[in-house]
Structure 1
């Protein structure tokens, strides 16, 4: 007789079923899509803004652009393609581990015109490689993994550049239509998630990165999870109740940080005589009460949860709520199923320049009825960034392994600035718990 864990499976990804030519076309499409976004983010400002450092937390936009090209040259042109180096003289300049962000403006970086010409030349060479290289026989090229990895890398830097735009001062230069309004009917405040095992991580997603692997059985106790991310309106109650001034809601590190930096609200919020306003990509507007709160640190999220009599979910709890289908025992690729994200499922890809109101994506709900787990805001979890059992670094230690430890907290789900190629139900993001410039929010959990 089979037991309940015998049903724990995940769905094979459709990329494994594509023929070589369709796979090449798909890889070219996601690379083109990423480059179009990089171009839009860098063409939106003049050359002076491209080379300026808008915050010591971020690189100049022109560094990100050339770094995208440098990584593509290293992996696709030189490694996968075996071609001669184009610009070996700049390898060190664009090595993220050699130069902290705060120091990068002082480096002899490529100027805007030179950076644009460089990334264009690299892309031409990379497409030559894509046209010829066998997509079997080597793990780096199996299912076009290296090309998917570089598309994800570029989109991750595009989200970083979008965060730089948020820190930029001046007139608005980015524009997008508003997100959809609430479409769901009345929603319960929280959803019950049954305890027991589920399959966490992946062994079948061809473009999954090393920290998402391997798939393994995880157990969670039964718990309740907020149906939607915490909204601005709910968070404002914490602010106006004096939550930032009450030591009892904060852990020691969080309390020290908010005191040292005189933090009293989410980043980019300010109080005026007639209410609360935020600055969003150069636009000053009233804080919308029904959108997920964004630009809060892990410490702020944990303090709110304590104030609300709850806690942050663990990473395993988040993934079970997002992927587990109790009817089949299967872990889905996404909350809504196995299909790639569409505009009806989630707020992704910089399609809109803000989170959508809670309840805006009922088609994206999980089988348990949890909404907006993917898109809108990255969601802080209570978990440290650790390797899964059986983790193997691939294709280099510096992607994940060097970051494992208690210094970083895991975020899940992606934001409105995350592209679909760079997020999935197993995708793991991580950052320092003090970070506020990222597009991060949260939802709460409590024990059943």
Structure 2
């Protein structure tokens, strides 16, 4: 199998999908956005061997080939098929194979069995992508302006959906490669110079009524609105995420052995799964090391602690004499420029904190998703969209917790202060960390 031609991620996604880089024809801008995001996905896979594309290490993860095909199916199902009543699908069974959770669309292969799909082959999956890309470009160029205006929001949703899967592709591959005793690298990355973490400072915010949620121009997922007012008590936030060095202190102090720091469900998870450290950490004669997408590396005490569950984040906060931020507090503190270590930088691992303004929290965006104390629930007045796309977010608003800020695996243009990610509290395979908070 010939690999897809590699194009660096930073060359693929210079701006938010749906927002033109300069005044131009809106259809041309949409086509450029579409091709940039689509090529970024195959670019991420450029160093993979055919055997890598079918790995599925757990039910929560999916094979790279499935991610490539599923994001393609989204455009075929919700746009091409919807616009043209006489549309002939690329393959009559691909909807069953590559539908994720859209009950309104039809039956689908059980999620834990996605790794059993040796067919279609990787070559066929890439041919599927190329065919749908060509059909989408033809549709965008040939449709009348009123028709484009009608389905353009779905195209933008599909592009943001694909960017979510670009991140999942990276996290799922990391989990799969970690299970290989050879600990293979996804991408080589030279080790950077050793640096010390900046001392933790506290930044205070007064009480007040805040506007929370998305309310401006540009794309946002439905769960980011409606924008609403919320009273926030005075609070203090740590100037940076908790570091691996601080988490080593938590471990050394018996953090995983003392139930007094843990929620009941969290302590049960520690016992059930045998957690003794963050995911991917291994202890050897020379100390702690961790698996990264560049292979095994010594744990760097200056880097943000990563791959911890909500339970671990909460226990660490309690051990520290602190707590986690609510998502309203987090969004209040996130009134800073969106910059940081993202997938575009191709480090694919959290970086030690860089310098920044004294009165602003650092590393708010990128590096690690930050667990909040907030359950994933609808905002006041939330209503899911009609039809199958309404299943995108709303039906998951139960038993999960909100994370904010993006990670080193998130495309830069995909994140914004109002973005609400969500996972179950025992999830650890995402690039998830913790920022401490205190009462103001």
TM-score strictly above 0.5: yes
Mapped to 2, the partners of 1:251 and 1:222 lie a distance apart of 25
Mapped to 1, the partners of 2:130 and 2:32 lie a distance apart of 16
**1:243 match:** 255
Mapped to 1, the partners of 2:19 and 2:146 lie a distance apart of 11
**1:398 match:** 391
Range 236-245 or range 200-209, more displaced: 200-209
**1:425 match:** 417
Structure 2 residue 394 is matched with structure 1 residue 386:
no
Secondary structure in 1 aligned to 2:430?
coil
Mapped to 2, the partners of 1:244 and 1:135 lie a distance apart of 60
Paired residue for 1:375, among 362, 366, 377?
366
Cα distance, 1:180 vs structure 2: 9.6
Mapping of 1:435-446 within 5 angstroms? 435-446=427-438
Q: Give the aligned CA root-mean-square deviation in angstroms.
A: 2.7
Cα distance, 1:424 vs structure 2: 0.7
Mapped to 2, the partners of 1:126 and 1:234 lie a distance apart of 49
Secondary structure in 2 aligned to 1:93?
helix
**2:112 match:** 102
**1:202 match:** 214
- Deviation digits for residues 330-367 of structure 1 (CA, Å, limit 9, x no counterpart): xxxxx22xxxx5xxx2111242121111235x2xx6x9
Paired residue for 2:277, among 265, 269, 281?
265
Range 131-140 or range 103-112, more displaced: 131-140
1:409 and 1:139, CA in 2 relative to 1: closer, same or farther beyond 3 A? farther
**1:172 match:** 185
**2:169 match:** 161
- Deviation digits for residues 345-395 of structure 1 (CA, Å, limit 9, x no counterpart): 2111242121111235x2xx6x95111111110110011111111112126
Mapping of 1:38-437 within 5 angstroms? 38-80=41-83, 84-87=87-90, 88-97=92-101, 98-107=108-117, 109-133=119-143, 141=151, 144-167=152-175, 168=177, 169=180, 170=182, 171-176=184-189, 189-281=201-293, 283-323=295-335, 335-336=336-337, 341=338, 345-351=339-345, 352-359=347-354, 362=356, 368-394=359-385, 396-405=389-398, 407-437=399-429
Mapped to 2, the partners of 1:82 and 1:293 lie a distance apart of 51
Cα distance, 1:293 vs structure 2: 0.7
Preserved contact between residue 19 and residue 218 of structure 2 (Cα < 8 Å)? yes
1:210 and 1:408, CA in 2 relative to 1: closer, same or farther beyond 3 A? same
Structure 1 unaligned blocks of 5 or more: 1-12, 324-334
Cα distance, 1:40 vs structure 2: 2.6
Q: How many residues align?
A: 410
Secondary structure in 2 aligned to 1:430?
strand
Mapped to 1, the partners of 2:22 and 2:170 lie a distance apart of 35
- Deviation digits for residues 234-293 of structure 1 (CA, Å, limit 9, x no counterpart): 111101111000000000111000111111100110111221111112511110111111
Mapped to 1, the partners of 2:141 and 2:24 lie a distance apart of 9
Cα distance, 1:74 vs structure 2: 1.5
Cα distance, 1:301 vs structure 2: 0.2
Cα distance, 1:404 vs structure 2: 0.9
Secondary structure in 1 aligned to 2:230?
strand
1:151 and 1:311, CA in 2 relative to 1: closer, same or farther beyond 3 A? same
Mapped to 2, the partners of 1:274 and 1:14 lie a distance apart of 46
Structure 2 unaligned blocks of 5 or more: 1-15, 102-107
